[in-house]
Structure 1
Amino acid sequence: MLLSLSLGLVAGLGEELLFRHVLQQAIPLPAPLPLLLASLLFAAGHAITPTYALLSFLASLFFGSVYASSGLAVAATAHGAYDAVAVCATHWVVTRKSEGEKERIRSMEWLKD
């Protein structure tokens, strides 16, 4: 569980550094275009399913807005906290599944549904 928590926190920080502090800040277009472009790239990188891509896009809009209004530290903290909770919750759910269900997850059969 500690590893899951750590991964979530580090992922949130890394993604905010890349998508907000580098991309959103560096795109030389008038607002809100940098936020929209960074969010589209973020969603593309999270496009496991169409629904998850959409949710990632919406979350990115939120984190990008937080970054624009409050800075990197607040956006990275919010994103890291979200990712830590999501990764820990996923870990908790998956570790309680049967071996057959775990194998289905590992084989990524659920993507075919």
Structure 2
Amino acid sequence: MPEAAFDETIHAPVRLRICGLLRPVDHLDFAVLRDTLEVSDATLSKHLKTLAGAGYVSSSKAASAGRGDARQITWLSLTRAGRSAFSAHLQALREIAGSSAGLSTFDQ
């Protein structure tokens, strides 16, 4: 179990949800993340910039075989530091809530 560490950067609701969505996958398309969160491009970009600045999220661009134009897809991933910080933040929330039982699915 990670050592608890409350993280103000992650704790903002949209950023917390971004980390939660990125954690179980290797990478996620910007558009899928935006649509899942139901936020604008600008809002998602702002929160991703904050997470990237902290070293928690990385992005890469790649051409899409399914597209007929030159636009590229932006892929987003939690970095190793991001995964560690998110786990530590979840542990801190468990401690704040006063229970570590029954929440083991967050540790996967």
The answer to which structure has the higher helix fraction is: 1
Tell me whether the two structures share a fold, i.e. TM-score over 0.5: no
TM-score bucket (shorter structure): 0.3 to 0.5
TM-score (norm. length: structure 2): 0.32
